[in-house]
Amino acid sequence: MSQTTLAPGLFSEAAQQAARAVFSMMAGMDVDPLEAFEDESPRPFDGVVGLVTFNGAWIGSGMICCREPLACEISSRMLDHSRPAVDAEVLDGMGEIANMVLGNWKEIVETHTGPMTLSIPTVLWAKNFCARLGIRAPWTIQPFMIGDERLEVRVCMKKV
């Protein structure tokens, strides 16, 4: 059953649960959550972004964002061989991570939003990247530290 409003913290708590499970199982990495926040218009970003969209009674997008060194480390651990620079395999690995983390996130929040579909991931490697959606809703940003690097799970959703 889809709710009109959602409990504060639902999106960030779901992101923490999903990220911990996926990074532990798929990459053997611990993620340390930082304080989540909302942003009406996220600042531009340099690095690798895995992006998916959600569709149902609630619509929106989710992103996994990190700088190049962390994207290479994540992919190296998933593939079990070194990826010293961003290449097609690193981008594919980040697409898989986005699909798994945000797919798990979707399953957690669907008990509140109702069923949603998940798009295939799009992966961008860019400088000064900023996402704008056609919906007016704040982004919930759940940052994590993985070693010395920062990773963000960003979600923007709206009831239709």
CA–CA separation, 16 vs 29, rounded Å? 14
- 3-class SS of residue 142: strand
pLDDT tens digit string along 49-85?
Answer: 999 999 999 999 999 999 999 999 999 999 888 989 9
78 is written with which tokens?
A: 């998933």
- Considering the entire predicted model, what is its pTM? 0.93
CA–CA separation, 93 vs 48, rounded Å? 11
Start-to-end C-alpha separation, the chain: 14
Question: What is the topology classification, in CATH, of domain 10-159?
Answer: Chemotaxis protein chec (3.40.1550)
Q: What Rg value do the Cα atoms of the chain yield, rounded?
A: 15
Q: What is the number of other CB atoms lying within 10 angstroms of the CB of residue 127?
A: 8
How much of the chain, in percent, has pLDDT values that exceed 90?
Answer: 81
Work out whether the CA dihedral 68, 70, 71, 75 comes out positive or negative: positive
pLDDT tens digit string along 112-152?
Answer: 999 999 999 999 999 988 877 788 889 999 999 999 999 99
136 is written with which tokens?
A: 């007016």
Asked if the model's pLDDT at residue 3 lies above 70, the reply is no
Q: Where are the domains of the chain?
A: 10-159
- One-letter amino acid at 144 equals F
